[in-house]
Amino acid sequence: MALDPKGPITQLHGVGPQLAQTLAKLGLHRPIDLLLHLPFRYQDRSQVRPIAGLNVGDEALISGQIISTRVIFGRQRSLELVVRDVSGEIRLRFFHFSKYQQAAIERSNYIQAFGSVRFFGNKLTVSHPEYQTFAEEPSAPTPDLTPVYPTTQGLGQQRLRKLCKQICALPWPDVAGAPYATLQALHAPTDLESVPALQEQLAIDELSAFYVLMKGRALKRNQERATALTESSPLAAQLTANLGFTLTAAQQRVADEIAKDLAKPLPMLRLVQGDVGSGKTIVAAFAALRAIHNGGQAALMAPTELLAEQHAQNFRQWLEPLDIQCALLTGQMSAKHQREGLAHVADGTAQVVIGTHALFQERVTFHRLVLVIIDEQHRFGVHQRMSLQGKGGHPHQLVMTATPIPRTLTMTLYADMDVSVIDELPKGRQPITTHTVSQDNRAKLVERLHRVLQSRQQAFWVCTLIEDSDEIDAQSAESTLAALTQALPEHRIALLHGRMKGDEKVALMQAFKRHEIDLLVATTVVEVGVDVPNATQMIIENAERLGLAQLHQLRGRVGRGNLASRCFLLFKPGLSAAAKHRLNAMRESQDGFYLAEQDLKLRGPGDILGTRQAGEESFRIADLSVHAHLMPRVIQRSEALMAADEHSAAAAELQQLLEMWAPADDRHLNV
């Protein structure tokens, strides 16, 4: 019976319900998904390495005679083999082994094993190698490269390899032509040199499918109805008069672009990019005025409690003089406050609702939600964004990000959105001078800081993630706090870290804003959006460990007033080439877009875009740090395919592209 590539995966030989469940964790539901599940790297097992030539860190195939086997009863029971070839001896060690495995090894004379060489009790050892035993001296190893697949708990490489081999050997009734051969070749390439070209072919297909889907979303959106938010003139004029500053030309331009969208009876989806400090919040406030003037509600969602609180303060200051009611909803609020807040949101008394992801909760119902504003969108998953959208038919959406996104990425990943850029900072901002400082010169830096704090300016001292653990992170911040408190006894120093309660964080931040604290020692919770104009010094520990996007965000916490600001990047000597490049880029440039381009080259898009790229919309093959240059070709091809007649060959090609590459939920989208 012919296999249905889009049928259940249990059609495959050896795949029962249990394995199917494990495969589902990897997003592998159908045979075709497995065909598209490509190795993320390859191992070279085509050459046997002489044992005497092995070094720590090598990943190698060895082949030799089994000299001895013994079980060692230590803290953890292990099985140890000594293996010898003509050049020397090495140990293999297994910590988990069955009786059956042990007996089979003891019966055999020869073994071929593949794994990483490490020191174990001073001896070169390969722990948990993949292996095969032989009675007689084995013949030559496999000539093809061995694929290494992304996998999950309970699913070994061997098993995945077998499944993929099975898949590649099958006749594919529906998946015709070139992509199939290319996929097959990528599962088992003969040499590494051929891989990039094969990947490029597939990347073009995948990106084309993605582009078409994004455009399809935009088209679909344009078939929905939304409330046309026509004007807001009396309110807007009042706000403008009260502001105390005038909008920059870029802010005004973007505000106009938004206004034009909102006036249409189609749901807006506009991304506003603006570097840190470019003044996105006030632009959002003008959009909210339109919603309110037209009798609707606006919701503003921020990624952290701190930011939600700060936005609430700003909005209240701007809008309450205009008799507009703002409500704050966060997960940290008391049950009573939440209940009150929820009631005001439901009956429409609250015209602007500001909050964190607490706004997503099912029990939040809006009276008449017409505008959704999402701040720092890269912090949210697409699904979260969508679920807020579900709360009010088809509200307009304004999405803001301070992470400048290189144009090539915008064209692809945000092809469903309209994009505005605030490419100008408010007047009077002083440039931030950036210095790189070796940790050896810490004492001097602290001395300097003392003088600046004496002149009534404030500072951040950011302890960056040392380990991937909140606990250890907080500890390192605490010891830094202790050291600084001792070194700077005349100054008021406080600690802000991610494990503090939301209201504690907010209270501390407000005290810092009121200048009751001179120096704020913090973990990277201050990364996003916090605005304290009198803070002029930013010291970042272990700056060499951070990516450019994050460094740029952190630096953006200073330089917000009209005093000259400085940023100090503390680093540990012995920098890698990439770290050197990053720190130099930071010293030389304050242009977020330039830094993002550099970041894309150095680290790939996942780090720049956060969830959107890393989460549900990640690509299987395309890697935009490598393949961005293909975009002009991709767009040209996609536009041509979309314009083609319904029954043409191009339409069939498009259909096939989508069937192959579209993620499960979008698979049947009509374009």
Q: What type of residue is 260?
A: K
Quickly count helices (H) and strands (E) in the chain.
24, 21
Q: Between 388 and 400, whose beta carbon lies closer to ligand ADP?
A: 400
Q: According to the binding rule CB under 6 A, does residue 277 interact with ligand ADP?
A: yes
Closest approach, Cβ 402 to ligand ADP, in A, equals 5
Q: According to the binding rule CB under 6 A, does residue 279 interact with ligand ADP?
A: yes
- The site partner of 282 among ligand ADP, Mg ion, none (C-beta below 5 to 8 Å per kind) is ligand ADP
Please give the Cα distance from 648 to 635 (Å, whole number): 19
Please give the Cα distance from 395 to 197 (Å, whole number): 44
Position among 40, 95, 119, 245 found at the interface with ligand ADP (CB under 6 A): 245
Share in percent of the chain as helix, strand, coil (round to 5): 45, 20, 35
Position among 66, 207, 229, 247 found at the interface with ligand ADP (CB under 6 A): 247
Query: Any idea what the Cα angle at residue 448 is, between residues 444 and 450, rounded to 5°?
Result: 115
Identify which range of 6-14, 15-23, 521-529, 553-561 contacts Mg ion by CB under 5 A.
521-529
Closest approach, Cβ 359 to Mg ion, in A, equals 17
Please give the Cα distance from 96 to 131 (Å, whole number): 14
Position among 133, 146, 227, 281 found at the interface with ligand ADP (CB under 6 A): 281
Identify which range of 65-73, 244-252, 595-603, 620-628 contacts ligand ADP by CB under 6 A.
244-252
Identify which range of 3-11, 350-358, 447-455, 529-537 contacts Mg ion by CB under 5 A.
529-537
In the bound complex, which residue of the shown chain has the CB atom lying closest to ligand ADP? 279
Residues 488 to 547 in contact with ligand ADP, rule: CB under 6 A = 529, 531
Identify which range of 11-19, 256-264, 274-282, 645-653 contacts ligand ADP by CB under 6 A.
274-282
Closest approach, Cβ 397 to ligand ADP, in A, equals 17
Closest approach, Cβ 531 to ligand ADP, in A, equals 5
Closest approach, Cβ 518 to ligand ADP, in A, equals 20
Please give the Cα distance from 511 to 505 (Å, whole number): 10
Both tokens assigned to 260: 């034009």
Query: Any idea what the Cα angle at residue 627 is, between residues 667 and 6, rounded to 5°?
Result: 25
Q: What is the 3-state secondary structure (H, E, C) of 473-530?
A: HHHHHHHHHHHHHHHCCCCCEEEECCCCCHHHHHHHHHHHHCCCCCEEEECHHHHCCC
Please give the Cα distance from 274 to 134 (Å, whole number): 64
Q: Between 39 and 592, whose beta carbon lies closer to ligand ADP?
A: 592
- The site partner of 396 among Mg ion, ligand ADP, none (C-beta below 5 to 8 Å per kind) is none
Q: According to the binding rule CB under 6 A, does residue 402 interact with ligand ADP?
A: yes
585 φ, ψ (degrees, to nearest 5) = -60, -40
Closest approach, Cβ 529 to Mg ion, in A, equals 4
- The site partner of 355 among Mg ion, ligand ADP, none (C-beta below 5 to 8 Å per kind) is none
**DSSP 8-state assignment for residue 364:** -
- Count of other CB atoms within 10 angstroms of residue 664: 10
Please give the Cα distance from 573 to 570 (Å, whole number): 10
The position carrying tokens 């061995």 is 146
Residues 421 to 460 in contact with ligand ADP, rule: CB under 6 A = 426
Q: Between 259 and 276, whose beta carbon lies closer to Mg ion?
A: 276
In the bound complex, which residue of the shown chain has the CB atom lying closest to Mg ion? 529
Please give the Cα distance from 214 to 211 (Å, whole number): 5
- The site partner of 279 among Mg ion, ligand ADP, none (C-beta below 5 to 8 Å per kind) is ligand ADP
Q: Between 304 and 613, whose beta carbon lies closer to Mg ion?
A: 304
Please give the Cα distance from 179 to 360 (Å, whole number): 41
Closest approach, Cβ 375 to Mg ion, in A, equals 6
Q: What type of residue is 240?
A: T
Of 230, 292, 308, whose CA–CA distance to 529 is shortest? 308
Position among 344, 560, 582, 637 found at the interface with ligand ADP (CB under 6 A): 560
Beta strand pairing status for 565-571 and 432-438?
parallel
Positions touching ligand ADP (CB under 6 A) are: 245, 247-248, 251, 274, 276-282, 402, 426, 529, 531, 560
The site for Mg ion (CB under 5 A) is made up of 529
